[in-house]
Amino acid sequence: MRLTHVGGPTLLVEVAGRRLLTDPTFDPPGRHYSFGWGTGSTKTAGPALSPADVLPVDAVLLTHDHHADNLDDVGRALLAQVPVVVTTGSGARRLGAGARGLRPWQSTVLDGRGRPPLGVVATPARHGPPLSRPVVGDVVGFAVREPGRTDGVLWISGDTVAFGGLRQVAERLRVDVAVLHLGGVRFPVSGPVRYSMTGRQAAAVVRLTAPRVVVPVHHEGWSHFRQGREGAERDLAAAPEEVRRRVRWLEAGVPTHV
């Protein structure tokens, strides 16, 4: 498996002869985006690669469509050039054009051109505190299983805090590579409430799921992140050795085998 971190939550995954792209974000920096309910963010860093650098892709795995730090304008335009888009049920209704909507633990199969099928399972995610879903909207993670492999899955957490649903991931899946969305998001309007994981929360999730490799993403490049890479690294460095030895930070734009 080869991973290329484009920036933010955007990751090019090359696996089993396929090219998958997560949460496409390719807008240049400098613009402020509204997320609704008095929240918003300014993009402070651009992508390491352009859409032309990553296309063609076989599918987009979109954890949610309604926040611009996970699907911005250029990323949204890119969807028209992708055969399959897998996202939340509500997101699929908004996007139309045959997008496949999944609720947690529903699955779909990526097939075509005579290649073995690649299974994709939606996993639970909660983008904020308890009872926040009516405000923040639906989010999912994804588990991708290579054909013929029994030793684990690629798990993409999506934008989530550490909550009970992630225990289901540990119970139902054997995780090989975990891509964790961090950033410790907060907004002034809601005070100390977090909307994504800190490094400390990520360490707890790593101990729970025990992946072989952990790849942190979505921790820099936007003004609403309250913990960037430096803070996450500090938290993870303070974690037990069983956590520290699994973490692999990717250099943006550089294809990396994991």
Show pLDDT as tens, one digit a residue, over the chain (258 residues): 999 999 999 999 999 999 999 999 999 999 999 998 889 999 999 999 999 999 999 999 999 999 999 999 999 999 999 999 999 999 999 999 999 999 999 999 998 777 889 999 999 999 999 988 988 899 999 999 987 777 899 999 999 999 999 999 999 999 999 999 999 999 988 888 999 999 999 999 999 999 999 999 999 999 999 999 999 999 999 999 999 999 999 999 999 999
Q: Residue 150's pLDDT is what?
A: 72
- Phi, psi at residue 145, to the nearest 5°? -115, 125
Q: Are 109 and 99 in contact (CB under 8 A)?
A: no
> What CATH number belongs to 2-27+38-250?
3.60.15.10
Q: What angle do CA 11, 13, 16 make, to 5 degrees?
A: 170
Q: Is 90 helix (H, G, I), strand (E, B) or coil?
A: helix
pLDDT given at position 189: 85
Q: How much is the pTM?
A: 0.96
- pLDDT at residue 134 in the model: 87
Place of tokens 């939606």: 122
Q: For residue 217, give the nearest of 69, 100, 42, 41 by alpha carbon.
A: 69
- Domain positions in the chain are 2-27+38-250
For residue 247, the 8-state DSSP code is B
DSSP string, 177-222: EEEEE------GGGTT--SS--HHHHHHHHHHH--SEEEEES-SSB
For 165, counting Cβ atoms within 10 Å of its Cβ (0-12 exposed, 13-18 middle, 19+ buried), the class is middle
Q: What is the pLDDT of residue 38?
A: 84
